[in-house]
Every structure is written in C-alpha cells, then in structure tokens.
Structure 1
Amino acid sequence: MKIRARIPAMNVALRKPMSLAEFLEWEKRQPIRYEFDGVAPQAMTGGTAGHADIQANLAAALRTRLRGKPCRFYGSDLKIQVAGDHIRYPDGIVVCTPVERTATIVHDPVVIFEVLSPSTASTDRIVKAREYQAKDSVQRYVMLEQDRVGATVYARAGDRWTFDILPDGAILAMPEIGVEFALAELYEGLVFEPRDDADDRPPGETVS
C-alpha cells in the first residue's frame, strides 16, 4: 500500500467530520486521490520503485490469466466502498461482474490486494483486513510483502475466515477466480538484501 497521510484542516469544511457524499463531491475537485476513513480525507502519496514493480507484476500476471474470463483485474485507479462508508484505493482488485466504463467506484470486488509499506502495514493488516472481510463480495484478501517474497492471505470459508502465510516458493492459489501462480512471479526483477531469521523473531527472543 502506498504511504498515506491525513491531510491537515485546510478550511472550515474540513474541520468537521465529512459525510461520504461530501467526500466524494470534494474529491472530484482534487488533483490527487484520497482515501476516506469515515471522518476525513487521507492523501495518497507516492510509493517506492519496489512497490511499483510488484504492482506492475501483479497486473501482468492477472490480466494475462483472466483474459477471456468473466473476471477482470483493476489497479489502484479505482476505489471501493467498504464498512462505515469508508473509501479505499487497494493496490489491486479483481471484479467478476460488469463495471461501467465511466465508473470510479467498484462495489463488489472478489479479491483485494495490498502491497505492504512500513508506514501503512498495521492499517493494512488490521483496519483494512476487518473492512474488507465485512464486505460480502470479498472472498480473498492478499497482502504482499515489499521487502521480501512473501504474502499474508485471508480467505472466506463460509461464515469464517482462514489465515495463511506464504513464503518464497509458495503458490498463490485463488480458486474463486480460477487462477494460481508462483508467488515469486510477483517479485520478478527485484533483488532483496539477505535477511537474518532473527529479523522475524519478537523483540527480546534469542536463539538457544
């Protein structure tokens, strides 16, 4: 996910909570995109080259495999409306129902992708996970690591959600859209610094 920052109160209109309708009308006049947390706009600022590469690889992988199928991949140009009248711009979504050519909001995404950034990881892992899980159409939420090959995947299983962590070498399977591929394909062209396993241990934990 690209870095977000809550915008400062710039005028009287932004010093009080905005309604969803007010936000959507206000956003039309802005030169950049904003998310909406139910209270105030949050500016979407630029990401890293690594983020852009992962997002581009994701688009290439899915558009190729979904060609000729009813589902379609969209990048972060389209927003979705989630619980609490929040507006989000995921890094990628798959939709399996028709989308009007002039649409700016997708109402029924099936699979949602976020590329994790240090500044937004907690929001993506907790806040957005809850928002996306509360949306009936969503069947899978995939969070892609940015500093290594890896993903965290939530999948709907009836009235509950399963949780899985995919390491390098894993296959990302998405049966709800009839697609699977090696997770490493999304990291093609990226080179990562060697990692010490200690990086993943909780603070204070040592190896015996």
Structure 2
Amino acid sequence: MTSAPLWFDFPLAVRKSWISTISRRYSLDEYRAIAEKAEGRSEYRDGEIVPIAERTLKHSRIGRNILTYFSSLLCDTQFEPINSDLRLWIPEYRRGVYPDVMIFDGEPQLNAERLDEVLNPILIVEVLSPSTADYDRQSKFRMYRSIPSFSEYLLVEQDERFVERYSKQAEGWLLSDFSGLEASISLDSVAIALSMAEIYRGIVFE
C-alpha cells in the first residue's frame, strides 16, 4: 500500500499555484484560461483551483486496461468510452473534474459548445489512490449523482484486486463488490461484462 502524497511530493510550480488558491477565488473563465496553459491538470471547485496529484504507473496501467477493453467491446455500438483528458462539468456544483474513464450513450453533450467540457456520461470509472479514495467515494459520487444521464459508477482499487460497482435503481443506488481475477462485472448501462482479469492485466502486486 503506497502512502498518500506529501506536500513536497508535488512540483514547486504546483505548490505555488496551490498556495495562491488559498488567498483568492477564480472565475470559471480564469480557471479555463489557466487550465489551457498549465502543464499539469487541476479541478475547478466553485472558485477554487485544486491541482490533481500525478498518477502512479499502476494507476495509469489500470485506467488504460479498462479503456482498451471498453473500446474493443463497444466499437460497433452507440456507446463511446473516453479517457481522462476530457473535463466533466457538473453544473449543479460548479465543478470541473477529470474522471479516469467515462462512457457516453451517443454523441457527448458539450458544455456551451466548448470542445474540452462534457456533461452527460452514463458510466464513470475512478481508479482509487490513497489520497483521493474518500473524495471519490463520498463528495465526488454525490456530485456525480446530480448528472441526469449518470447511472453506473465503478471504483477500482489499484493496490488490490477489488472493485465496487454502484448502479442506479428506482429506489436508489445499489452497491455490489467484486474481488479476485475470476469475477466478472455486469454493466447494465452498456450491456457488457467487464472482466476483473482484464482490469488487472499486467498489474503486479507486492
């Protein structure tokens, strides 16, 4: 299990920008202008700009495995998987975030014709890091649930073979969990099954 990143684990430029967010708030237009020029990515949180910690090799490989598997199975369907380069805008909370993987039913809906912000994923995948796991499970999930199209959520551990799946039901959200390489996750929103062996293909655990 890796430890959460410390303050000095972040590059100096990121730490300086982080300090600046404490003393002032940014308009959405200011954030977008900064994001277009910045070397690293950051979230917009209703006036605050919060740098996103750099990801581990294991995190990136898991995200790649999931996106590759989705792209293969969904290539001849109306569903489109997208990687973490695209920003998701959540209007109700005025948040701009970067999920690890999103799937759209048909053409993604752009936010006011911006080519870098979308509004309507049906499925979201987050690969968990020690520093963001609580945020992904709680605050971010609550914000995601305000998206009308959103109906399925996967939380993927990177330090063990374990996945949590939340699916939207008439009475609320149903949690199922999966462990081991033999399990398969049925995804109602896209009518396919995601193999745990494919998620963790090539991943070595200590």
TM-score by length of 1: 0.82
* Compared CA separation, residues 103 and 186, structure 1 to 2 (3 A): same
1:17-166 pair list within 5 angstroms: 17-82=25-90, 83-99=92-108, 103-158=115-170, 160-166=172-178
RMSD: 2.4
Q: Once the 2 structures are TM-superposed, how far is the Cα of residue 32 of structure 1 from its aligned partner?
A: 2.2
Q: For each residue in 1:93-128, what CA deviation from the matched residue of structure 2 results, as whole angstroms up to 9, or x when unmatched? A: 001121479821111001000000011111111111
Which is greater in Rg?
1
- Aligned pair count? 190
Q: Secondary structure at the match of 1:151?
A: strand
Comparing 29-38 and 49-58, the one that deviates more:
29-38
- CA distance in 2: counterparts of 1:10 and 1:16, whole angstroms: 7
State the partner residue of 1:180: 193
For residue 174 of structure 2, what is the amino acid of its counterpart?
Answer: T
- CA distance in 1: counterparts of 2:175 and 2:167, whole angstroms: 7
Unmatched 5+ residue regions in structure 2?
A: none
- CA distance in 2: counterparts of 1:44 and 1:62, whole angstroms: 25
For residue 18 of structure 2, what is the amino acid of its counterpart?
Answer: P
TM-score by length of 2: 0.83
Q: Which one of 9, 12, 15 corresponds to residue 19 of structure 2?
A: 9
- CA distance in 2: counterparts of 1:38 and 1:97, whole angstroms: 29
- CA distance in 2: counterparts of 1:151 and 1:173, whole angstroms: 12
Contact 1:70 1:96 in 2 (8 A): yes
Q: Once the 2 structures are TM-superposed, how far is the Cα of residue 178 of structure 1 from its aligned partner?
A: 1.7
Question: Sequence identity, in percent?
Answer: 25
Q: Once the 2 structures are TM-superposed, how far is the Cα of residue 179 of structure 1 from its aligned partner?
A: 1.4
Contact 1:149 1:184 in 2 (8 A): no
